[in-house]
Structure 1
């Protein structure tokens, strides 16, 4: 029997995820090129539309134009919808639609949604997808309520405008998108804990990952947590604390960042700045005026990213933590990698190494290419490529100045960073081949 196009497409569910995101980017690009999407009434160029649509669907936040000044209300609403769709996952939304219409799932739909949501079993998938959507909307509604109240009471915004700002930034924060409706992003709110802490909290919750969030909501004791939850929570706390200390040390006396703030304001701004490289992408400090030490610290935090199966990007904190445990095990001379009272499978270790190597190689190649395409120095080019690949959205201010080829390079990086190097590679592979024999071992000198 001949293989149909549908069978070939869905033989590996990761391929459906890649194609789903590509179609959403294409649809968003088409929508943003319409004259009604811009404030001027003129059609946006296809490069600008493609860049913005990719940044929204891939929940990145890099922009080449001022979001509020360039895009009309219709354009901003479309961007919000693209952010929401990208955050929840194209396959998650497709599964929810299937549940609504037919009340049952086919095997292909289950496999496709499982690949996107990272669920470990398919039997509970309908319940999990419903929880994902309900939890996401609830978190966004809570964040929007706090932000809307603050905009009304603290800044005198009319209720309608305050609600619009609250909803837009709540969706952007929970989905780790980093889009803002002010030219300076959130710099004008650097000393406002209501704004900064609400957006930071929404970004952290969205970036932890749905499996971790659901387990935390069950109220189980720490010793009963799964390895995924233990690693994610511990690594997230350590990275947030380390990032806050690093930014305080590097920017304390910088007159263009933390310098003018009081001690409380400095701590708030440093904490907010440490949260955002987890791929949230907002900034309350001028990134272009930060020290080179802070740029390097941000590069590291962006590359690591947030939790698995959430709205964050990067190689993920779980991958980073597993590599750390692998190194620690090697130093101790042990044969198995143990985390707590559990052993880490060998195939999971290989996946962590592969993801890190592919990601590092892709960032290095993109940085080299961007240096050829633009006059910007290495530190700024590296910052830009890491931000794009990790779907963060922070920038030193060079995004709009890049040539069209450089912006298209960032588009490719954002897309690859969202679907994941390993997912993208497996989607392009026609099939996996299992070797039916083992070769004899031979030792090789390392180091």
Structure 2
């Protein structure tokens, strides 16, 4: 009797590999040596998913509940998830001298969200070069702060853990209050935010800067990401500073220099990293809405961050401005944006909104929490951010599963999941045009 071979598309294979890694991580976190106390399966699954999707949400106190072994499992999952498990597999192939075939290249293209197959192997090499180089330099930098405070070995481990967590935009910290105790510490603020920004702009941009070394020669994508990141961070910092200046639960009790540090740190980390140096449980509603936008937009394509991506958001905004002005082509920095890019951006935006709506709808039924906190939790999970207004530890079983699904969707990308499910069809027939009324 013949058995039919199962043929998976690159998108389906990517999802399967990712899901398998999460299950393996869950089993490792359930081992007795991984935690000080009994950890339920759902909490181990939640933590493994959060680490693998570089989110940072946790239903239990990771700093207190997990042993050194458990923390190593978490940081390994973060590194795998941030750089891509497929990228690690390809690195092993390269080190063993194996030939990289077309199927592997397509899988890497899907994993790193590239538009073409050309240069994907070179990009993977640069990915590991930049990652390990920046993480190592940051570890040395953070050691200046933490070795004197905790001793050599513990200080090195803390620096090692947080450099990986920050560069991969994960947001996991080894203190119960995250990084609130270091709100005014220049070394921690500069070291962590520097890693977040580098990891968030994307490896394509890093590679572009590395080889061209001139802003004028950079690709349009790189220019958009660099300018967009600077402008977004500065605007967010200003808004947070003025909106929360007198709030006694966030910035109000801090000195002016520490208010500036906290505003800057939160402006950077809210877009996708999930670290915090101020308490977010009692944010003012305008600030919470700003956070929702920042988390939804997220970081850059081919980065360690999540969200719909900054370039996706900018393309949609520019297309709206183009339509209002009555122009036919979308032009940005004297370059025409293809219609296919706009359609892809709209697809990502629409599927993301649909996923968020469904998750919020279910959580509003299952959770006893204010709407704003539910919405904040869902968008934080989708954007793989990891910030919370205090709802994560209070989630029901269904609530935890919904957030796990949102983290999974947010990391792999809504379009990747949609493409893996939908059947690809090539149009062989063209039909006549007819207008419909809109607006």
* Shared fold, TM over 0.5: yes
Q: Which residue does the alignment assign to 2:14?
A: 17
Distance apart, 1:182 and its partner CA: 0.4
In structure 1, the residue matched to 2:416 is 423
User: Normalising by structure 1, what TM-score?
Assistant: 0.95
Distance between the aligned counterparts of 2:396 and 2:424, measured in 1?
39
1:177-235: per-residue Cα shift (whole Å, max 9, x none)? Answer: 00001010000000111101210110110011110111122244333221211221122
Q: 2:123, 2:207 within 8 Å by CA — same for their partners in 1?
A: no
Shift of 1:330: 0.6
Deviations 1:106-144 (A, max 9, x none): 221121112112344435333321211121011111111
1:437 corresponds to 2:429: yes
Q: Are 1:32 and 2:24 matched, yes or no?
A: no
Q: Which residue of 1 aligns with 2:240?
A: 247
Shift of residue 45, structure 1, vs aligned partner: 0.9
Rounded to whole Å, the distance in 1 between the matches of 2:381 and 2:118 is 35
What is the aligned partner in structure 1 of residue 5 from structure 2? 5
Corresponding residue of 1:95: 90
Structure 2 residue corresponding to 1:200, chosen from 183, 193, 202: 193
Are positions 1:110 and 2:102 aligned together?
A: no
Residue aligned with 2:100, SS: coil
Please give the alpha-carbon distance, in whole angstroms, between the structure 2 residues aligned to 1:5 and 1:101.
Answer: 28
Counterpart for residue 350 of structure 2: 357
Q: Residue 392 of structure 1: SS of its match in structure 2? A: coil
1:137 aligns with 2:150: no
Task: Identify the match of residue 224 of structure 2 among 231, 252, 255.
Answer: 231
1:3 shift after superposition: 9.7
Following superposition, the deviation at residue 24 of structure 1 comes to: 0.6
2:76 maps to which of 64, 76, 81 = 81
Partners of 2:3 and 2:353 lie apart in 1 by 37
Q: Which runs of 4+ in 1 moved over 4 A?
A: none
Q: Which is worse superposed, 381-390 or 207-216?
A: 207-216
Partners of 1:251 and 1:291 within 8 A in 2: yes
Alpha-carbon distance in 2 for matches of 1:67, 1:142? 25
Shift in Å at residue 332 of structure 1? Answer: 1.1
CA deviations on 1:257-287 (whole Å, 9 max, x unpaired) are 1112222211111011111112100000001
2:172 maps to which residue? Answer: 179
Q: Counterparts of 1:368-447 in structure 2 under 5 Å?
A: 368-429=361-422, 431-447=423-439
Aligned twin of 2:285 = 292
SS at match of 1:287: coil
**Paired residues, number:** 438
State the TM-score, normalized to the length of structure 2. 0.97
- Which among 253, 270, 274 is matched to residue 263 of structure 2? 270
Distance of aligned partners of 1:219 and 1:123 in 2 relative to their CA distance in 1, 3 Å threshold:
closer
**Residues of 2 paired with 1:120 and 1:358: CA distance?**
20
Deviation per residue, 1:41-76 (Å, 9 max, x gap) = x4x211000000000000000001111210010000
- Could you list the runs of 5+ residues in structure 2 that have no partner in the other structure? none
Counterpart secondary structure, 1:288: coil
Give the 3 Å change call, closer, same or farther, for CA 238–197 of structure 1 in structure 2: same
Once the two structures are superposed, the pairs formed by residues 138-153 of structure 1 within 5 Å of their partners are 138-153=133-148
Give me the CA root mean square deviation: 1.4
